[in-house]
Each structure stands twice: as C-alpha cells, then as structure tokens.
Chains A and B, each alone.
Chain A
Amino acid sequence: MAATKASKEQKYDRQLRLWGDHGQESLENAHVCLINATATGTEILKNLVLPGIGAFTIVDGHTVSGEDVGNNFFLSNNSIGKNRAQAATELLQELNSDVSGNFVEESPDKLLDNDPEFFHRFTIVIGVQLPESTCLRLGSVLWSASVPFLVCKSYGLIGYMRLVVQEHTVIESHPDNALEDLRLYKPFAELKNHIDSYDLDSMDKKDHSHTPWIIIVAKHLEKWLSEHNCQAPKNYKEKEAFRQFIREGILKNENDVPEDEENFEEAIKNVNTALNPTKIPSAVDDLFNSEQCNSITSQTPSFWLMLRAVKEFALNEGNGSLPVRGTIPDMIADSQKFINLQNVYREKAMQDAGAVCKHVESLLQSFGKPPESVSEKDIKLFCKNSSFLRVVRCRSLAEEYNVDSVNKDEITSSMDNPDSEMVFYLMLRAVDRFYQQHSRYPGVYNYQVEDDISKLKLCVTSLLQEYSLNVNIKDDYIHEFCRYGAAEPHTVAAFLGGSAAQEAIKIISHQFVPFNNTFIYNAMSQTSATLQL
C-alpha cells in the first residue's frame, strides 16, 4: 500500500504542485461519464485518465467505422465493426492502471428512454458530438439531478464547449496576480504595536538597511497622516510626493550622498499598491448579498455556511474587513525582522479564523448540527482565500434554447462584427437544424456540398427568424460549413480534448475557475471566445 502511494506521488508529482494532495484526492474519487468515443471524446478522456480520475464510463451505441479509426488514437483498425465504447475503453484503460474503465454499449437516447437515473451516479457527464435533441433531453435530466454537464463538439476547424452547471463554488481560485493583504491603511492593533517597536531614526546602518519595506511605508504614512489632516496620498501627485518623502528617509554618508538602501527602494516601488484601502472585493460583497448566504438552512452546503460566518465576522470583529490573509511577500530584511513581521500577520490570521470558527459553530448550533460538521482546516482555508472566492452559475440549455429566454443581446452585439466567433455558434445551431430535418449533416459526400449550401442557408434563415435575431451571416460561412462535411480533424479534437479535460478537472476539484458558459475555438485563425448564452 505504502509503495503504491509513494509511486503515485512520484508519478503525479508535476500536477500535485498545481492542485495539491486534496485536489488529487477529489480526482481519484470522481467518476466521469463520456458519451460518444469519437476522437474528441477519447482525447478528452485521455487527459482525465492520465492525471488519475477514479473511474470513467463510456456510453456509445455506435460501431467502429474505418473513418473513426483514421482520426482516433484510441481505436485500432482491428476494432472496425466492434462497439465503439468497448474498443475505446480498452485502449484508454491501458494508459493508467490506477483508473477503472467501464463501457455501456447503448445510445444515450435509449438510456434516457429506459433509465435516465443511470446518469445520476456521475461526478460530471461529458457529451460529445450529440445531436440537439439528445443534448437537450440529457441537459434537462442532469440539471434536475444537479450533475454538471459539459457539451463538446469538433466540427471542421471549429471547436465548441458548453458548460451546464447550476451553481459551482470555488474556494481556491488561485488568481494569477493577487494583491497582497497588508492592512497598511488602517493597521490592526498588533501590527500597529509592531510598527511602533521600530524607531528608524535611532537604528544603526545595518538595521536601517534591513528593515522590511512594510515598516518603512507604515512609518512614513504615520508621519504623512499627521501632517496632512489624516488624508492618505490618493492621486498620482500625492503618491509621487509620498515616494519622495520616503526617499528622503534614506541614510546619507558623511558626504551627504544617499547610501544604497534596497529596502527603501522596495518601499518606494510598492507605494502604488500598498496604500490601497482594505476593501471587501465587490465579487465577495455580491456573494454576501446573495440569497444562499442570507437564507441558511440545515441543508445549506458548507461553502455558504462559511461565507455567512465570514460575513458575520466582517460585520463584527472584522470592522468591515475580511479575515487577514496572513501572508506577506518576500522582501529585503534580515531574518529576524522578516520572521517577526510575518508572524504578526500569521497570528492575526489565526485569530480572525478562530473568530470565524465561532460564527460557524453558532450557525451549526442553530440547526442542531455538531460543530465538527465543518472542519477547522476547511475554515482556515476558506479564510485564507476569502478575497478570491468565486461562484459560477451557468444558465440551463433550456434557457439558452428557449425563444423567450435566448440571450439576444449577447448574440446581436457580438455579430456587430460579422466575423466574430459568435458566427460559428450560430452555424453550429444551423447545422443541428439541418440534421434534424435531413437526418444527416450537410456536405458529408463530395456530391452533396454544392446543393447543401442552399439547404443549409434555409436552416440559417429559419433559425434567425425563430429567435428574431436581426443579424447577417455571410454566405462564406455557410459554404465553409458545408465544406466541412461534419469532419472531425484530429488536431481540432486534440485542442478541445485538452481544453475540456481541464474544465472537467476544475469542476471535479473545485479549484481554479471554470468558463461561463460557451467556448468557441477557431483553428483557422487560432482565436477563441467565451460567450455567455
């Protein structure tokens, strides 16, 4: 057992550094359903099997054709004529022995007819190359069961993804460029005391040059406030003056030449961001004002419970601020000064998290739930990430497709540029219509291409009419989509394979932020767009 754990740590080392052991655990507990083992489907699954999801099930009623094998790495030519789900499962399973692979030789429509609850067991369902009717049926079942649904399609040189999830909470969004939480504007008591313990004017040269820039800014800010009627530097002119004020604090040698004090240079550089008043980010404020946060019941998931507790904290102990994050960036300083300063922030963060814990406890108590229902570890993590919380809510497919709730604004404003990626969304919808009418896709055979252009154009027109969309779709796009003949070139399938797999991992792990809600990839121009439909 220990040997497997160690070898898994080695094997997954490069990805553990991105989502941690707890992220990996959530992957290993996940069961992913893939519908249709086309090239797009198997490429998505490959990128989920390799990182070690617990299990997958492929649902596919098709038999393998020669064409299927031609663009699919996980089908071989001796599987022609066999069921596609079974054939693909074998070669995907072989990628990673930690993963358990299953297959169901059935079309999703049949399963929806006979046993729709079949889909309730999955962590996420990924539907590939689904006709519109199947997609909508499945979407409705999964929406009612609160199972996340990821719809993917590769059509010629266009890739399409649609995420359907009612409410997806993210505690660990891992933002790329987060601002530090230093509380310089209104230092908390312990920080104020620590700043007071420094006297820049009486320090020797070595100490002076190794004082953390946070202290330097704080000290100078104090002086500034007393001389400027408690008004912190706000505009560029004032900040420039403040920077100059700090520069004047640099020690000078006996010839009155300023010494080389890198910590002061750091202070000056950080003035821009360090003086921003601590505010609750508007995204978090919105969450505080949301229904789920304010109507807590015994069924409320722990995310909202913790959020409510943080809101209570902000209103009370926090004095209008979120719990202190507790981390500071590295800076020029001697070890002791840095560690002591770091500990001031760390201890405050622990104190704040403790206060939040008490709020969680009292909330739990009011429902007769034991305090252990939400772990201290989870609360600490929540507090540390409180500035970065995200909630993603995607509209249902029913809402997207319903004439009364279609997002007309998004469509028409995007189509102000007739070459925007939105045109591909509309073409995919038109192509779905064509399939519904003719039971085939346009231009599959060479001889069909020319005639199908006018037929597809009729579908485009009826689509735009039905939704009262006053947009113009250039004939070139209609021609191009007939030319595609529903081809699924491998490189487009592979691009979607990587994109979709990572979105699925985000849903499973609740780390990083999923897209909302439609992604279009154009391999002709290597551009993409995210639309909210």
Chain B
Amino acid sequence: MAVDGGHRDGGCDWDGRWNHVRKFLERPGPFTHPDFEPSTESLQFLLETCKILVIGAGGLGCELLKNLALSGFRLIHVVDMDTIDVSNLNRQFLFRPKDVGRPKAEVAADFINSRIPGCKVVPHYKKIQDFDDSFYRQFHIIVCGLDSIIARRWMNGMLISLLSFEDGVLEPSSIIPLIDGGTEGFKGNARVILPGMTACIDCTLELYPPQINFPMCTIASMPRLPEHCIEYARILQWPKEKPCRDTSLDGDNPEHIQWVFERAQERAAEFNITGVTYRLTQGVVKRIIPAVASTNAVIAAACATEVFKIATSAYIPLNNYLVFNDVDGLYTYTFEAERKENCSACSQVPQDLQFPSSAKLQEVLEYLTENASLQMKSPAITTTLEGKNKTLYLQSVKSIEERTRPNLCKTLKELGLSDGQELAVADITTPQTVLFKLNFTT
C-alpha cells in the first residue's frame, strides 16, 4: 500500500512511515474523544514535543519503549536502577547475552535509538527516588512498568505532590497522567490514573494483598513443606553460621544459593520432607515471580494504547482498570476503580487514627504496617510537642531507633499526646509525609 501524505519531518523519515498512525490523527470518526480534532499537527506534536517518561526497562519497559517509538513518540526518558541478568533474556528483548551486567536503561535506549531512526530515548541508570519534582514535572505522561508495589506507591505519591489547587479547586494543568502496568506469570493489569481525579494506587491498595511470609515457629520447629526448610537455612542458619564472612545472603550468587540448598536438603531429610530442589531454593530466596514474554507484550500494548489516546485525544481513555488472564482461554475484565474518600495518598485530608489514650505507641506502629489500606513498611512517626518537632519512633537510623525504642512501650498519654494531635508519618511508600489525626476513643 502506498503513500497518502508526504514526509515533512526531519531527514530520517521515509515515505509512508507514519501511515498507520496518521489515519487516527488526520481523519474524523464516530468514536473519537469529544475533544478530538483531525489535524496534521497531532503527528508533529508526537514527534517533536510530547515528552513521555517510562519507569522500568525490564519486561514491561522494553515493550513500552518499542510500542511508543513505533507510535510516533520520540522524546522518551527511561529510568531503571538495575543491570541486565541472564534470566531477563527470555523476555527483555532489547538485551543480548553480551549485555549481561550493563545498565538496563542504557542498553534499552541504545537499541531503540538505533533500530527506530529519529527516536531519542534518554536513559537514566538511577532509582526513581533519585529525582525530585523538577524532573518529573517536565513530562506529559508517565508510564510505569515496575515490579514493586513500594515503587509504584512512591511514584503515585510524587505525582500527587505535583498537584496544585487554586481556592481548593484542582488545576488541570498540574495533572500528569500515570499509566501503570503489572504482570505476574499469565496474569496482568493496566490502569489509567489521573492524579487528584481518579482512583490512585493507594485508593485500591487492597487489590494488592500483603505478601505472606511463613510464621517463624513453623520455620524454626515445625517444618512441613520444602519451602520451610529453605527459609530455615536462609533466615536462621546463614546468619548463625555465616559461611561467607559477614556477607549478607546474595540471591544472585550461585554459591550462596547452593549453600542454602544443601542446608535445606539436610533439614528436609531430618523431617522426611521431599521436594527441595535447587530451582525451588532459588525461587524462595529471591522471591522469584515467573514471567514470560507474552503477558508483558499484552499489558505493555494496552498501556501504550492508552498513552497514545491521552496524548492525542484520539479516543476516550480506559476508565480505568483492565485485568488480563490467559491461563484458560483469554479473559479480560474492565472496570472503574473508585477513589477512596479518605485515601492516605490522594484525599488531601489527615488520616483518622482511633486509639484509646492508654494504647501503647507499639500498637499504633503495628496498625500503620498491618492495616490493609496503609501497608507501611517502616514508618517514622513525628509530632509537634510544646512547639518543637519530636521524633516518637524511627527505625531506619540505628542511633535514633535505639533512642526512641522505649517510646514503643509508653502509652500515647504518657508520651504527651492529646486528642486531635497531628502525627506526621514518613515511609518509603510515599515521597511526602502522611498526616494523621489522633482520635482518642476512651
């Protein structure tokens, strides 16, 4: 099929290059977004102006970069803190055996830029937390292909912190749409988040149930499964026997895994448990999630379609959550995730903390970590007492942890806290502190 419009862009374009894309930008249609206007300028916007940030250059990231580049996007940044591992090669198709050990973001960017003439992917071999709001503000749309809920929540929190309100009304220009994709084996999901307007990651935190770890007493004295034997070797034997001189267990070191495997086999033999294999050992120690190319391809495709729709107003975007599963046939389910009224991330109101004044600080800490809607990892609690900032408990700095540990056994009353007191809580799940309001129940 031949050309329908000439090339007017820089020298790297050839006849017909963008024919497939143009039909959706230059022709009117019955199902387009109400804001859509057919124009030859939309393609220019994609090629020359629209800036997209891709978070993650792994299974989803590689697919996303390809999809965006072949949809007309050229100004793309990609952030990934990892280097390439051999086990990535079954699906992260921008990497080859010779690239093992190199930063994913850099290799991915190189490959795309050389395969897709004109595309200018800028790599960042960094953590998302290494950037501040001035970095994120420059993008029109952000797409995540992350493998960590903590990172997602952080990204979510960052975009919410960029929102500006005038007289209590959200300014649309401060909204940066976030497209988030996730996969696990043959399951996946894709969602569109308009921070401040639609359900955010934390609004639907219950969709991500907390990871279940085996109880210590099972591991220590009552193993039944091969996994229990492996965890025994990892959690109890390794620190005690320290086979590698004070090094912590490195899941990527085959010698370490071999050591755990052998100890686990010994323990299993003791209890007549079968099933300890090297592969299982590696899977348990590294918390490996099985992965294939196909699921990542599907989810990244859905995400990229949404980026295109939002960037061009070609169609009404997904509203707002897609679930996919191809274990038995192919199953998709699309629904609108609802905003949580008192969401700890996006509701802009202090969170309610209901406790009797006789409750110990330890109980508050447990609530922050165990509550399904909060799922904090290592919260640091501070407050203002007598006009001064006071740290009630903080775990991440050893000296402060030791100093504030006694507070855990004190009651809220003993700590000098009053009804209605505001507590500021910091945690790795969010770039901004979360405000809580104490509500004494007795």
Task: Say whether A519 faces chain B, with CB atoms less than 8 Å apart.
Answer: yes
The distance from the CB of A508 to the nearest CB of chain B, in whole angstroms, is: 13
In the bound complex, do residue A487 and residue B23 qualify as a contact, i.e. CB atoms below 8 Å apart? yes
Among A133-141, A269-277, A332-340, A356-364, the one that faces the other chain is A332-340
Task: Say whether B363 faces chain A, with CB atoms less than 8 Å apart.
Answer: no
Among A224-232, A295-303, A460-468, A524-532, the one that faces the other chain is A524-532
Task: Say whether B430 faces chain A, with CB atoms less than 8 Å apart.
Answer: no
- Per-residue 0/1 for A42-67: is the Cβ within 8 Å of any B Cβ (1 yes, 0 no)? 01001100111000000000000111
In the bound complex, do residue B293 and residue A338 qualify as a contact, i.e. CB atoms below 8 Å apart? no
**Residues of A475-529 contacting chain B, CB below 8 A:** 476, 479-480, 483-492, 494-495, 497-499, 501-503, 505, 512-516, 519, 521, 523-528
Closest Cβ neighbor of B296 among chain A residues = A498
In the bound complex, do residue B14 and residue A499 qualify as a contact, i.e. CB atoms below 8 Å apart? no
Among B199-207, B320-328, B367-375, B378-386, the one that faces the other chain is B320-328
- Per-residue 0/1 for A322-345: is the Cβ within 8 Å of any B Cβ (1 yes, 0 no)? 000000001101111011001000
Task: Say whether B395 faces chain A, with CB atoms less than 8 Å apart.
Answer: no
Residues A446 and B16 in contact in the complex (CB < 8 Å), given A16-B279, A47-B297, A67-B1:
no
Task: Say whether B61 faces chain A, with CB atoms less than 8 Å apart.
Answer: no
The distance from the CB of B40 to the nearest CB of chain A, in whole angstroms, is: 11
Which of chain B's residues have a CB closer than 8 A to the CB of A115?
none
Interface residues on A, range: 35 or more
- Per-residue 0/1 for A193-232: is the Cβ within 8 Å of any B Cβ (1 yes, 0 no)? 0000000000000000010000000000000000000000
CB-contact partner of A67 in B19, B67, B272, B304, under 8 A: B19
The distance from the CB of B387 to the nearest CB of chain A, in whole angstroms, is: 46
The distance from the CB of A161 to the nearest CB of chain B, in whole angstroms, is: 8
Which of chain A's residues have a CB closer than 8 A to the CB of B89?
11, 50
Task: Say whether B17 faces chain A, with CB atoms less than 8 Å apart.
Answer: yes
**Residue in B26, B63, B294 with the greatest tally of chain A CB atoms within 10 Å:** B294
In the bound complex, do residue B327 and residue A176 qualify as a contact, i.e. CB atoms below 8 Å apart? yes
Which of chain B's residues have a CB closer than 8 A to the CB of A395?
none
Residues A66 and B20 in contact in the complex (CB < 8 Å), given A14-B292, A525-B334, A528-B332:
no
Which of chain A's residues have a CB closer than 8 A to the CB of B304?
491, 494
Task: Say whether B291 faces chain A, with CB atoms less than 8 Å apart.
Answer: yes
In the bound complex, do residue B332 and residue A444 qualify as a contact, i.e. CB atoms below 8 Å apart? no
In the bound complex, do residue B17 and residue A70 qualify as a contact, i.e. CB atoms below 8 Å apart? yes
In the bound complex, do residue B291 and residue A499 qualify as a contact, i.e. CB atoms below 8 Å apart? no
**Residues of B277-315 contacting chain A, CB below 8 A:** 279, 282-283, 288-302, 304-306, 308, 315
CB-contact partner of B273 in A16, A72, A335, A488, under 8 A: A335
Among B222-230, B397-405, B419-427, B434-442, the one that faces the other chain is B222-230
CB-contact partner of A483 in B18, B29, B297, B322, under 8 A: B29
In the bound complex, do residue A15 and residue B271 qualify as a contact, i.e. CB atoms below 8 Å apart? no
Residues A43 and B288 in contact in the complex (CB < 8 Å), given A11-B90, A73-B66:
no
- Per-residue 0/1 for B239-264: is the Cβ within 8 Å of any A Cβ (1 yes, 0 no)? 00000000000000000000000000
In the bound complex, do residue B318 and residue A526 qualify as a contact, i.e. CB atoms below 8 Å apart? yes
The distance from the CB of A202 to the nearest CB of chain B, in whole angstroms, is: 22
In the bound complex, do residue B329 and residue A526 qualify as a contact, i.e. CB atoms below 8 Å apart? no
Task: Say whether A247 faces chain B, with CB atoms less than 8 Å apart.
Answer: no
In the bound complex, do residue A502 and residue B186 qualify as a contact, i.e. CB atoms below 8 Å apart? yes
In the bound complex, do residue A15 and residue B67 qualify as a contact, i.e. CB atoms below 8 Å apart? no
Which of chain A's residues have a CB closer than 8 A to the CB of B223?
335
In the bound complex, do residue A67 and residue B20 qualify as a contact, i.e. CB atoms below 8 Å apart? yes
- Per-residue 0/1 for A70-87: is the Cβ within 8 Å of any B Cβ (1 yes, 0 no)? 111100110010000000
The distance from the CB of A155 to the nearest CB of chain B, in whole angstroms, is: 11
- Per-residue 0/1 for B96-124: is the Cβ within 8 Å of any A Cβ (1 yes, 0 no)? 00000000000000000001110000000
The distance from the CB of A331 to the nearest CB of chain B, in whole angstroms, is: 8
Residues A526 and B4 in contact in the complex (CB < 8 Å), given A15-B292, A494-B67:
no
Task: Say whether B91 faces chain A, with CB atoms less than 8 Å apart.
Answer: yes
Task: Say whether A398 faces chain B, with CB atoms less than 8 Å apart.
Answer: no
CB-contact partner of A498 in B66, B117, B293, under 8 A: B293
**Residues of B100-151 contacting chain A, CB below 8 A:** 115-117
**Complex: A164 Cα to B115 Cα, angstroms:** 35
In the bound complex, do residue B17 and residue A67 qualify as a contact, i.e. CB atoms below 8 Å apart? yes
**Complex: A483 Cα to B290 Cα, angstroms:** 41
**Complex: A421 Cα to B300 Cα, angstroms:** 22
Which of chain A's residues have a CB closer than 8 A to the CB of B273?
335, 339
Which of chain B's residues have a CB closer than 8 A to the CB of A490?
20, 66-67, 70-71
Give 6 new A-B contacts, CB below 8 A, not counting A487-B19, A491-B71, A498-B298: A13-B288, A15-B292, A66-B16, A449-B27, A485-B27, A524-B31
Residue positions of B touching A, CB distance < 8 A:
1-4, 14-21, 23-24, 26-31, 63, 66-67, 70-71, 86-87, 89-91, 93, 115-117, 185-186, 190, 222-225, 271-273, 279, 282-283, 288-302, 304-306, 308, 315-316, 318, 322, 325-330, 332, 334
8 tightest A-B contacts by CB?
Answer: A498-B297, A66-B16, A498-B298, A494-B301, A495-B301, A515-B329, A67-B16, A490-B70
- 27 chain-A/chain-B pairs, Cβ below 8 angstroms: A7-B86, A10-B87, A11-B86, A13-B87, A17-B283, A17-B288, A18-B186, A50-B293, A65-B2, A66-B16, A67-B19, A72-B70, A77-B17, A176-B328, A333-B222, A446-B4, A483-B29, A487-B23, A494-B297, A497-B297, A498-B294, A498-B297, A501-B293, A512-B327, A513-B327, A519-B330, A526-B332
